[in-house]
Structure 1
């Protein structure tokens, strides 16, 4: 289903040690809430715990704090890890170095919850973020009104606003080959309809296993590398879902000629109208999107392949594809830098009017949430100017 090979990317500069340490940040999140129901047991390696101890003891230099970083903050429902990190840090991807921890008390280091108070502790020119209550200089505990935690508030906060990427966790699909060309396809609608809506009946030709649910995609389009033009994979635009109602069959008429009877499906949920020619595929594995944001632990150099949805440019909270995937060292949760390519100008005072390439300029940040073999999808967290195909992507 996925792409088969890719050239390993080579970056232009090494990753600072502090950012490499950030990769282990999944071991730095705060612990459980008393009485909290059991959560999934995400693995934490011995190496991650070892690095976690080191960075937790060090914290971050005060110069890395955001100008208006508060002394304390109580997590609210709707907060995200990225929001909180941006509140305290100039470089939010360095959050693992900021979070204080108690390794013995942490049950699930991937989860923090609404209602927990975070306190910024400053000492020796460095800062840590710890779980606790505010204590003033006299040692008196400061109490303040707070909302009572309810059952609906007990879910863990996400790394980013999951509503922005939830549809893409299963709907965005990149295939290694154009296999949808041979997938079951809609050949007709009831009463000759060409455009089909929710609840409409569609007739499908092709081999269909007797499973209840199917996903519907538009004909896949190739994704090409901005530099080489090489096809990296085939992007299948998501249309919706269909329920399998009745199998098809092939009959032989009295005159010996074959007659094909298509399978019958009912369209259930749609992002856009289905139409004759749309392809059907078995549902893709689901991803809950709860990845820990972190910087790559090795140099990475990539480019923007496309803007999702056939756009020519993208801005904050939009989805783009880049020309690196698993085989290029990209993984879900990576926070990457977006660079605007420098334009070419002519030196007007040079008699030969020499062309001058202006330097690339940092334009924003990208959060990778879906990774295929040679292509990845990311959410633009911030951008100063529109992001376009060919823009450079690197470590933050």
Structure 2
């Protein structure tokens, strides 16, 4: 049976709050039956005003050391626990309080806390080089077999540069160059995956490669790099950043300007700013630009909260995030910052 890894326990995190409505949604159901395909974020969102805070709910409860596995068909029950909300789990006819007990099932059967497949698909096709100038020192395609201009799976390629044996390599094409509009600083260069190759042998500075997979034709001057790890952080749990973040949506990969729920965006903040995988940021839609009726001066109206983004891959100066909630269309240039928090450490 498919299972969902969910960390909903007794809501003792709300013990610090004066009343239920500080943590619970007004329309929180008394009972919810878990459905196939649910994620932790989805389930928490039915009960909590801020679904990304579910790890804090169980982390502050000394009786709960690990997340619980809840299966499709199980029912989560909301009840009164000495004046504060508690969540129980109904299996069959009995209601039991969630405990530290963990039901062990094969990891492949557990549903992820967020839509990880969307992220994996994106990471397969995109990566960032922090210093674009370093590309000049990397291996690059110089020719295809039989003087072909383009190559595909099963073909042989020739690249110039040093490539170690045993490693797995990807072939990439230069994408968007990200620049800080305010300072002119280069934040990174996005690379688009073209295919994968296997090193056959090296002769002087020419390496012979076999194309093992190709999503597009490989061309001369495409870059050859060791494949980036596509494993997602096991601790990819939603939480507020530990430091103050004030940044912008730099781009929506794919060449579009607008983004909605479950779309990936590029942020102009990264590791050096304190971001890490799992950090949740509020997205503030930029206010409209208007002209002062008296002076003609261009004015930017105050923005409004429009969604939540969860960071999943971080580079030195920028990062990728998944839009988890969008109450309106989000756009390049919209602000990202620490979310308001009832339980968390940052954003108070």
With normalisation by structure 1, the TM-score equals 0.71
Find the aligned partners of 1:214 and 1:111 in 2 and give their Cα distance. Answer: 38
1:345 match: secondary structure:
strand
The reply to whether residue 242 of structure 1 matches residue 197 of structure 2 is yes
Q: Which moved more, 1:73-82 or 1:233-242?
A: 73-82
Match of 1:375 among 296, 318, 323: 318
Match of 2:32 in 1: 73
Find the aligned partners of 2:178 and 2:83 in 1 and give their Cα distance. Answer: 49
Q: Compared with structure 1, are the counterparts of its residues 154 and 283 closer, same or farther at alpha carbon in structure 2 (3 Å cutoff)? A: closer
Instruction: Give the deviation of 1:113 after TM superposition.
Output: 4.2
Q: Compared with structure 1, are the counterparts of its residues 78 and 150 closer, same or farther at alpha carbon in structure 2 (3 Å cutoff)? A: farther
* Structure 1 contact 174–236 (Cα < 8 Å) conserved: yes
Instruction: Give the deviation of 1:166 after TM superposition.
Output: 0.6
* Structure 2 contact 53–238 (Cα < 8 Å) conserved: no
Instruction: Give the deviation of 1:280 after TM superposition.
Output: 0.7
Match of 2:127 in 1: 173
Match of 1:222 among 167, 177, 183: 177
Aligned pairs (5 A) from 1:1-396: 29=7, 55=13, 57-58=15-16, 61-62=20-21, 64-96=23-55, 98-99=57-58, 103-104=62-63, 106=65, 109-110=66-67, 112-115=69-72, 117-123=75-81, 126-133=84-91, 141=94, 155-169=109-123, 171-178=125-132, 179-219=134-174, 221-249=176-204, 262-290=206-234, 291-348=236-293, 350=294, 352-396=295-339
Match of 1:17 in 2: none
Find the aligned partners of 1:275 and 1:75 in 2 and give their Cα distance. Answer: 49
- Unmatched segments (≥5 aa) in structure 2: 1-5, 97-102, 340-348
Instruction: Give the deviation of 1:278 after TM superposition.
Output: 0.7
Q: Compared with structure 1, are the counterparts of its residues 278 and 354 closer, same or farther at alpha carbon in structure 2 (3 Å cutoff)? A: closer
Find the aligned partners of 2:70 and 2:232 in 1 and give their Cα distance. Answer: 17
* Structure 1 contact 212–245 (Cα < 8 Å) conserved: no
Find the aligned partners of 1:200 and 1:175 in 2 and give their Cα distance. Answer: 27
RMSD: 3.3
Q: Compared with structure 1, are the counterparts of its residues 217 and 354 closer, same or farther at alpha carbon in structure 2 (3 Å cutoff)? A: closer
1:185 match: secondary structure:
strand
Find the aligned partners of 2:48 and 2:176 in 1 and give their Cα distance. Answer: 40
Q: Which structure carries more strand by proportion?
A: 2
* Structure 2 contact 79–86 (Cα < 8 Å) conserved: yes
Task: Name the structure, 1 or 2, with higher relative contact order (CA <8 Å, separation 6+).
Answer: 1
Find the aligned partners of 2:131 and 2:68 in 1 and give their Cα distance. Answer: 38
With normalisation by structure 2, the TM-score equals 0.79
Q: Compared with structure 1, are the counterparts of its residues 99 and 88 closer, same or farther at alpha carbon in structure 2 (3 Å cutoff)? A: farther
**Deviation beyond 6 Å, 4+ runs, structure 1:** 149-154
Q: Compared with structure 1, are the counterparts of its residues 231 and 280 closer, same or farther at alpha carbon in structure 2 (3 Å cutoff)? A: same
* Structure 1 contact 216–242 (Cα < 8 Å) conserved: yes
Find the aligned partners of 1:228 and 1:100 in 2 and give their Cα distance. Answer: 40
2:53 match: secondary structure:
helix
* Structure 1 contact 218–239 (Cα < 8 Å) conserved: yes
Instruction: Give the deviation of 1:370 after TM superposition.
Output: 0.5
Select the structure of larger CA radius of gyration. Answer: 1
